[in-house]
C-alpha cells in the first residue's frame, strides 16, 4: 500500500467513538498503556452513540406491551420502532417477521425449534457452533470444508440433489445454514450463490450474519436469504439482544419458542379442567415474557449509527486496516495466517494465525501482559474448522477459549486478531510491532498455566 493510498484511507473515515477507547491497563514490565481492544469478533465495544442513546432513554424505561401509563406507552413505541429500524437496516421483505432474541445462538435455536416435521438441514463443518449445533433434533447433513467459494456452492448443490425424498415421494422440507463471514478466518462466503443453489433445489436458507453485519451492509432481499440471524454485542450494541428476521410461515406454524405471557392472545379454561391457548401469529408468538427493550433499542441505535456513518467509508477503512495487519504479519516468516479460500480472499477484519515455536495461549498472554493488547486464542467455538485449518486429528480434544497445554507445548489452538469501526491505526500498528518483537526477542516475562489459561507468573 502506497503512502498516498494509506493517507487517503485514513481520511475516508476516522474510527467511530467507542466506550473504553481511553482505558489504560497495567503492563507486567511496568507502567500503563491505552488498551488495544482487538477482539471485536467476540464482543465489539459499544459505540458511544449507542451508550448515549440508551442513557437518554433509561429514565423513561417502562414495561413493554403491559401498561397504560405514559412510560409504558413510550417504551412500547420505542421497542416497536426499534423493530422497524432493524428491519429497514436488513432490507427485510414487507411480510417478514423480525423477532428479538438473546443472541445469534438463541435466534438459530429458535428457528431450529420451528422446523417443520421431516425437515433436512445442511450445514458446513466450518460454521461457528451457534450455527453448527442447534439442529440436533433434525436430519442433519454436515458438509466438508470447501477450499474455494465455488467448491462451497458445488458441494451444497450435490448434497441437495441427493437429499432424501419425503413419504409422498416429493422433496422433504430442507434448510441450509451458512455464515456470511467466518469468525475464524474472516473470509466472506458466497451467500448469494448458496441461496440460489438452495432455492433451485427447493430448500430454504438462513444466514448467520454475526460477523458480517458489523462490517458490511446486509440485505435480505439482495442476498435472497429466507432468514438472517445476528447478535447485538458484535454490532457495537450491549445488553444481550439478538435478531431473527425472515419468512413468517414456519414461525407461525410452530409452537412458541417459550410459552408464557406476551406470546398468548387468549387463554381459557376448558370444562375438563385443562387450558386452551390461542397464540399470537405476529413476532410476539416467540417473544414471551418481558422483552429486553434496552437491548432492542441498543441494536436499533447501532444500526442507525452504522448507516449514518456509511458502510462504503467503513468498509474502505477496514480494508486499509486489514492490509496493514496482513502486510505486517507477512514480514514475520514464523507467522502463518489461517485461510480456507486463499490469501487473496475478501474478508472482514478477522484474522487467525499460529506462530512457529509458540503455544498460542502463551503468545496471546504475552500480547496482553507486555503490550496491553487484547486478542483471542483457542478454537473460537468453531472446533471442526480450526482443526481442519491446523491439519490436526479430528478426534483431538480441545476446549473453546481455554487451551490446556502448558506454554511452549504443541497444542491445538490459534490466535485471532479482530477489529472494526472503532479501531484506531495505533492499535493495529502496536499489534504488528508486538508480534515482530515477541518472535524476534521472545517474551520479557515468565508465564504459567492456571485453570487452563496462560498467565504471567508472579
Q: What residues are labeled active site?
A: 381
- Measured CA to CA in angstroms, residue 57 lies from 75, 102, 295 at distances of 9, 20, 12
Find the angle CA(83)-CA(86)-CA(87) to the nearest 5 degrees.
Answer: 80
What b/e string do you get for 30-53 counting C-beta neighbours within 10 Å, with b at 16 or more? eeeebbbbbbbbbebbbbbbbbeb
Going by DSSP bridges, is the β-strand pair 264-269/275-279 parallel, antiparallel, or unpaired? antiparallel
Q: Is 218 left (phi over 0), alpha (psi -120 to 50) or beta?
A: beta
**Which residue is associated with the grid cell 451458512?**
178
Amino acid at each position: 500500500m502506497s503512502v498516498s493510498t494509506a493517507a487517503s484511507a485514513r481520511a475516508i473515515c476516522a474510527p467511530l467513538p467507542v466506550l473504553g477507547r481511553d482505558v489504560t491497563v497495567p503492563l507486567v514490565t511496568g507502567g500503563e498503556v491505552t488498551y488495544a481492544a482487538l477482539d471485536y469478533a467476540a464482543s465489539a465495544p459499544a459505540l458511544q452513540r449507542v451508550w448515549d442513546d440508551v442513557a437518554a432513554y433509561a429514565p423513561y424505561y417502562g414495561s413493554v406491551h403491559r401498561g397504560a401509563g405514559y412510560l409504558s406507552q413510550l417504551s412500547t413505541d420505542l421497542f416497536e420502532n426499534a423493530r422497524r429500524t432493524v428491519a429497514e437496516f436488513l432490507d427485510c421483505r414487507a411480510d417478514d417477521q423480525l423477532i428479538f432474541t438473546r443472541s445469534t445462538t438463541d435466534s438459530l435455536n429458535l428457528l431450529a425449534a420451528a422446523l417443520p416435521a421431516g425437515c433436512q438441514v445442511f450445514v458446513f463443518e466450518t460454521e461457528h457452533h451457534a450455527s453448527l449445533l442447534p439442529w440436533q433434533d433434525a436430519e442433519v447433513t454436515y458438509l466438508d470444508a470447501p477450499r474455494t467459494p465455488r467448491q462451497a456452492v458445488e458441494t451444497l448443490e450435490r448434497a441437495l440433489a441427493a437429499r432424501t425424498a419425503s413419504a409422498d415421494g416429493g422433496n422433504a422440507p430442507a434448510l441450509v445454514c451458512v455464515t456470511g463471514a467466518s469468525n475464524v478466518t474472516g473470509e466472506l462466503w458466497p451467500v448469494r450463490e448458496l441461496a440460489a443453489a438452495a432455492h433451485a433445489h427447493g430448500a430454504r436458507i438462513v444466514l448467520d450474519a454475526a460477523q458480517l453485519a458489523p462490517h458490511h451492509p446486509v440485505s435480505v432481499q439482495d442476498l435472497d436469504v429466507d432468514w438472517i440471524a445476528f447478535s447485538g454485542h458484535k454490532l457495537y450494541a450491549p445488553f444481550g439482544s439478538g435478531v431473527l428476521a425472515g419468512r413468517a410461515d414456519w414461525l407461525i406454524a410452530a409452537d412458541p419458542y417459550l410459552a408464557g405471557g406476551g406470546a398468548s392472545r387468549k387463554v381459557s379454561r376448558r370444562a375438563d379442567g385443562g387450558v386452551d391457548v390461542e397464540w399470537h401469529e405476529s413476532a410476539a408468538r416467540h417473544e414471551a415474557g418481558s422483552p429486553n427493550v434496552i437491548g432492542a433499542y441498543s441494536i436499533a441505535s447501532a444500526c442507525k449509527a452504522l448507516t449514518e456513518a456509511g458502510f462504503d467509508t467503513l468498509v474502505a477503512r477496514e480494508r486499509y486496516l486489514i492490509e496493514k495487519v496482513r502486510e505486517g504479519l507477512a514480514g514475520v516468516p514464523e507467522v502463518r495466517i489461517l485461510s480456507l479460500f486463499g490469501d487473496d480472499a475478501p474478508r472482514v477484519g478477522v484474522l487467525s494465525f499460529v506462530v512457529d515455536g509458540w503455544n498460542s495461549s502463551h503468545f496471546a498472554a504475552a500480547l496482553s501482559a507486555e503490550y496491553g493488547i487484547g486478542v483471542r486464542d483457542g478454537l473460537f467455538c468453531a472446533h471442526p474448522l480450526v482443526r481442519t485449518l491446523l491439519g490436526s486429528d479430528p478426534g483431538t480434544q480441545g476446549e473453546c477459549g481455554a487451551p490446556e497445554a502448558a506454554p511452549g507445548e504443541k497444542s491445538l489452538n490459534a490466535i485471532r486478531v479482530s477489529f472494526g469501526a472503532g479501531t484506531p491505526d495505533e492499535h493495529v500498528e502496536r499489534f504488528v510491532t508486538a508480534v515482530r518483537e515477541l518472535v524476534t526477542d521472545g517474551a520479557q516475562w515468565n508465564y504459567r498455566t492456571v485453570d487452563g489459561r496462560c498467565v504471567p507468573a508472579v
